[in-house]
A and B are shown apart, each in its own frame.
Chain A
Amino acid sequence: KQEVTQIPAALSVPEGENLVLNCSFTDSAIYNLQWFRQDPGKGLTSLLLIQSSQREQTSGRLNASLDKSSGRSTLYIAASQPGDSATYLCAVSSGGGADGLTFGKGTHLIIQP
Protein backbone atom coordinates (compact mmCIF):
# COMPACT_ATOMS: atom_id res chain seq x y z
CA LYS A 1 0.00 0.00 0.00
CA GLN A 2 1.38 3.37 -1.05
CA GLU A 3 2.18 5.82 1.74
CA VAL A 4 3.16 9.46 1.26
CA THR A 5 4.98 11.53 3.86
CA GLN A 6 5.60 15.26 3.80
CA ILE A 7 8.24 17.03 5.83
CA PRO A 8 8.07 19.46 7.52
CA ALA A 9 4.45 19.51 8.68
CA ALA A 10 4.67 23.27 9.17
CA LEU A 11 7.07 25.97 8.11
CA SER A 12 7.23 29.71 8.76
CA VAL A 13 9.74 31.88 6.91
CA PRO A 14 10.21 35.59 6.18
CA GLU A 15 9.15 36.96 2.83
CA GLY A 16 11.77 36.72 0.09
CA GLU A 17 13.37 33.46 1.21
CA ASN A 18 13.79 30.46 -1.04
CA LEU A 19 12.41 27.27 0.47
CA VAL A 20 12.11 23.55 -0.14
CA LEU A 21 9.23 21.26 0.72
CA ASN A 22 9.80 17.52 0.82
CA CYS A 23 7.65 14.57 -0.14
CA SER A 24 8.52 10.88 0.06
CA PHE A 25 6.59 7.82 -1.03
CA THR A 26 7.06 4.14 -0.25
CA ASP A 27 6.27 2.45 -3.58
CA SER A 28 8.34 3.70 -6.50
CA ALA A 29 5.96 2.18 -9.09
CA ILE A 30 4.10 5.42 -9.69
CA TYR A 31 2.50 6.91 -12.76
CA ASN A 32 2.93 10.50 -11.73
CA LEU A 33 3.29 12.88 -8.82
CA GLN A 34 1.35 16.08 -8.43
CA TRP A 35 1.81 19.07 -6.15
CA PHE A 36 -1.22 21.07 -4.98
CA ARG A 37 -1.88 24.00 -2.73
CA GLN A 38 -4.95 24.32 -0.56
CA ASP A 39 -6.14 27.56 0.98
CA PRO A 40 -8.24 27.40 4.16
CA GLY A 41 -11.72 26.04 3.50
CA LYS A 42 -11.07 25.75 -0.21
CA GLY A 43 -10.46 23.04 -2.77
CA LEU A 44 -7.08 22.12 -4.20
CA THR A 45 -5.21 24.06 -6.86
CA SER A 46 -2.87 22.07 -9.06
CA LEU A 47 0.67 23.47 -9.16
CA LEU A 48 2.77 20.95 -11.05
CA LEU A 49 2.40 17.45 -12.46
CA ILE A 50 5.48 15.29 -12.99
CA GLN A 51 5.11 12.10 -15.02
CA SER A 52 7.13 9.10 -13.82
CA SER A 53 9.49 9.46 -16.79
CA GLN A 54 10.31 13.07 -15.96
CA ARG A 55 12.83 14.46 -13.51
CA GLU A 56 11.46 17.94 -12.96
CA GLN A 57 8.83 20.51 -13.88
CA THR A 58 8.89 24.28 -13.57
CA SER A 59 6.18 26.90 -13.41
CA GLY A 60 7.15 30.46 -12.62
CA ARG A 61 8.78 30.56 -9.19
CA LEU A 62 8.03 26.88 -8.58
CA ASN A 63 10.23 23.94 -9.44
CA ALA A 64 9.40 20.36 -8.60
CA SER A 65 11.82 17.46 -8.90
CA LEU A 66 11.20 13.73 -8.85
CA ASP A 67 13.58 10.91 -7.97
CA LYS A 68 11.39 7.88 -8.48
CA SER A 69 14.01 5.31 -7.53
CA SER A 70 14.53 6.83 -4.11
CA GLY A 71 10.86 7.69 -3.64
CA ARG A 72 11.37 11.43 -3.21
CA SER A 73 10.12 14.71 -4.60
CA THR A 74 10.89 18.28 -3.66
CA LEU A 75 9.01 21.48 -4.34
CA TYR A 76 11.26 24.53 -4.52
CA ILE A 77 9.67 27.95 -4.09
CA ALA A 78 11.85 30.90 -5.04
CA ALA A 79 11.52 34.38 -3.58
CA SER A 80 8.57 33.52 -1.37
CA GLN A 81 5.67 35.97 -1.00
CA PRO A 82 2.89 36.29 1.60
CA GLY A 83 0.43 35.05 -1.06
CA ASP A 84 2.29 31.73 -1.06
CA SER A 85 0.93 31.02 2.41
CA ALA A 86 -1.17 27.86 2.15
CA THR A 87 -1.02 24.13 2.77
CA TYR A 88 1.00 22.31 0.13
CA LEU A 89 0.08 18.73 -0.66
CA CYS A 90 1.82 16.16 -2.77
CA ALA A 91 -0.04 13.21 -4.25
CA VAL A 92 1.06 10.15 -6.22
CA SER A 93 -0.88 8.07 -8.69
CA SER A 94 0.02 4.40 -8.44
CA GLY A 95 -1.46 0.90 -8.17
CA GLY A 96 -2.76 0.93 -11.72
CA GLY A 97 -4.82 3.93 -10.77
CA ALA A 98 -6.83 1.75 -8.43
CA ASP A 99 -5.46 3.65 -5.46
CA GLY A 100 -6.54 6.90 -6.95
CA LEU A 101 -4.29 9.65 -5.75
CA THR A 102 -2.52 8.97 -2.45
CA PHE A 103 -1.95 12.21 -0.59
CA GLY A 104 0.49 13.28 2.04
CA LYS A 105 -0.79 15.17 5.07
CA GLY A 106 0.66 18.41 3.72
CA THR A 107 3.06 21.17 4.74
CA HIS A 108 1.41 24.22 6.28
CA LEU A 109 3.44 27.17 5.00
CA ILE A 110 3.34 30.70 6.42
CA ILE A 111 5.27 33.50 4.74
CA GLN A 112 5.79 36.40 7.14
CA PRO A 113 5.54 39.87 5.51
Chain B
Amino acid sequence: KAGVTQTPRYLIKTRGQQVTLSCSPISGHRSVSWYQQTPGQGLQFLFEYFSETQRNKGNFPGRFSGRQFSNSRSEMNVSTLELGDSALYLCASSLAGGLRTDTQYFGPGTRLTVL
Protein backbone atom coordinates (compact mmCIF):
# COMPACT_ATOMS: atom_id res chain seq x y z
CA LYS B 1 0.00 0.00 0.00
CA ALA B 2 1.44 3.35 -0.98
CA GLY B 3 2.18 5.80 1.81
CA VAL B 4 1.20 9.42 2.14
CA THR B 5 2.58 11.49 -0.71
CA GLN B 6 3.19 15.21 -0.76
CA THR B 7 3.98 17.44 -3.71
CA PRO B 8 6.07 19.31 -4.38
CA ARG B 9 8.88 18.23 -2.11
CA TYR B 10 10.69 21.57 -2.30
CA LEU B 11 9.50 25.08 -3.04
CA ILE B 12 11.16 28.46 -3.13
CA LYS B 13 8.93 31.53 -3.11
CA THR B 14 9.33 35.22 -2.44
CA ARG B 15 7.54 37.33 0.14
CA GLY B 16 4.01 38.30 -0.81
CA GLN B 17 3.45 35.34 -3.13
CA GLN B 18 1.05 32.53 -2.44
CA VAL B 19 1.65 28.80 -2.49
CA THR B 20 -0.41 25.61 -2.71
CA LEU B 21 0.77 22.31 -1.31
CA SER B 22 -0.80 18.95 -2.05
CA CYS B 23 -1.24 15.81 0.02
CA SER B 24 -2.51 12.41 -1.13
CA PRO B 25 -3.49 10.16 1.78
CA ILE B 26 -3.10 6.43 2.10
CA SER B 27 -5.84 4.65 0.18
CA GLY B 28 -8.91 4.27 2.39
CA HIS B 29 -7.90 7.03 4.79
CA ARG B 30 -10.40 9.82 5.10
CA SER B 31 -8.83 12.13 7.64
CA VAL B 32 -6.00 14.45 6.64
CA SER B 33 -4.24 16.84 8.97
CA TRP B 34 -1.52 19.40 8.33
CA TYR B 35 1.43 20.53 10.45
CA GLN B 36 4.16 23.14 10.27
CA GLN B 37 7.62 22.22 11.56
CA THR B 38 10.23 24.88 12.31
CA PRO B 39 13.43 24.67 14.37
CA GLY B 40 12.13 27.23 16.86
CA GLN B 41 8.52 26.18 17.34
CA GLY B 42 8.74 22.49 16.55
CA LEU B 43 5.67 20.79 15.12
CA GLN B 44 2.45 22.79 15.22
CA PHE B 45 -1.02 21.70 14.14
CA LEU B 46 -2.63 23.64 11.29
CA PHE B 47 -5.93 21.89 10.58
CA GLU B 48 -7.69 18.58 10.06
CA TYR B 49 -10.09 17.66 7.28
CA PHE B 50 -12.57 14.83 7.13
CA SER B 51 -15.14 14.19 4.40
CA GLU B 52 -14.31 17.50 2.71
CA THR B 53 -15.02 19.45 5.92
CA GLN B 54 -12.58 21.14 8.22
CA ARG B 55 -12.98 19.28 11.50
CA ASN B 56 -10.39 21.11 13.61
CA LYS B 57 -8.20 24.16 13.25
CA GLY B 58 -5.04 25.22 15.00
CA ASN B 59 -3.94 28.69 15.99
CA PHE B 60 -2.67 30.06 12.69
CA PRO B 61 -3.69 33.24 10.85
CA GLY B 62 -6.28 33.20 8.12
CA ARG B 63 -3.54 33.29 5.48
CA PHE B 64 -3.34 29.55 6.03
CA SER B 65 -6.23 27.67 4.52
CA GLY B 66 -6.97 24.23 3.24
CA ARG B 67 -9.48 22.04 1.57
CA GLN B 68 -10.21 18.40 0.94
CA PHE B 69 -11.60 16.80 -2.16
CA SER B 70 -14.05 13.92 -2.51
CA ASN B 71 -11.18 11.46 -3.04
CA SER B 72 -9.71 12.60 0.32
CA ARG B 73 -6.77 14.38 -1.30
CA SER B 74 -6.06 17.65 0.43
CA GLU B 75 -4.43 20.94 -0.40
CA MET B 76 -3.25 23.72 1.81
CA ASN B 77 -2.73 27.28 0.66
CA VAL B 78 -0.66 30.04 2.19
CA SER B 79 -1.29 33.53 0.89
CA THR B 80 0.86 36.64 1.23
CA LEU B 81 3.92 34.66 2.22
CA GLU B 82 6.17 35.95 5.00
CA LEU B 83 9.76 35.01 5.79
CA GLY B 84 8.54 33.24 8.92
CA ASP B 85 6.48 30.83 6.81
CA SER B 86 9.67 29.04 5.80
CA ALA B 87 9.23 25.57 7.23
CA LEU B 88 8.69 21.89 6.57
CA TYR B 89 4.98 21.32 5.99
CA LEU B 90 3.83 17.83 6.87
CA CYS B 91 0.54 16.16 6.26
CA ALA B 92 -0.75 13.05 7.94
CA SER B 93 -3.60 10.74 7.10
CA SER B 94 -5.62 8.31 9.19
CA LEU B 95 -8.81 6.34 9.19
CA ALA B 96 -12.17 7.95 9.86
CA GLY B 97 -11.63 8.31 13.58
CA GLY B 98 -8.88 10.80 12.89
CA LEU B 99 -6.93 12.43 15.68
CA ARG B 100 -9.08 11.05 18.47
CA THR B 101 -8.51 7.37 17.85
CA ASP B 102 -6.29 6.51 14.92
CA THR B 103 -2.61 6.21 14.16
CA GLN B 104 -1.37 9.16 12.15
CA TYR B 105 0.74 8.34 9.08
CA PHE B 106 2.93 11.16 7.89
CA GLY B 107 4.18 12.07 4.47
CA PRO B 108 7.76 13.16 3.72
CA GLY B 109 6.85 16.84 3.82
CA THR B 110 7.21 19.87 1.58
CA ARG B 111 10.15 22.13 2.36
CA LEU B 112 9.07 25.73 1.74
CA THR B 113 11.65 28.49 1.63
CA VAL B 114 10.46 32.10 1.49
CA LEU B 115 13.02 34.65 0.29
Q: Tell whether A46 pairs with B104 under 8 Å between CB atoms, given A103-B42, A106-B42.
A: yes
CA distance A105 to B56 in the complex (A): 22
Which among B33, B105, B106, B109 is the interface contact of A100 at CB below 8 angstroms?
A: B33
Give the chain A neighbours of B109 by CB distance below 8 A: 42-43
Give the chain B neighbours of A36 by CB distance below 8 A: 106
In the bound complex, do residue B103 and residue A46 qualify as a contact, i.e. CB atoms below 8 Å apart?
yes
For B, the interface residue count at a CB cutoff of 8 angstroms equals 28
Asked whether B48 is an interface residue with its Cβ less than 8 Å from the other chain, the reply is yes
CA distance A96 to B101 in the complex (A): 11
Closest to A51 in B: B101
In the bound complex, do residue A100 and residue B42 qualify as a contact, i.e. CB atoms below 8 Å apart?
no
In the bound complex, do residue A46 and residue B33 qualify as a contact, i.e. CB atoms below 8 Å apart?
no
Taking Cβ atoms with an 8 Å cutoff, the residues of B that contact A are: 4, 33, 35, 42-48, 55-58, 90, 92, 98-109
Taking Cβ atoms with an 8 Å cutoff, the residues of A that contact B are: 31-32, 34, 36, 42-46, 49, 51, 89, 91, 93, 96-106
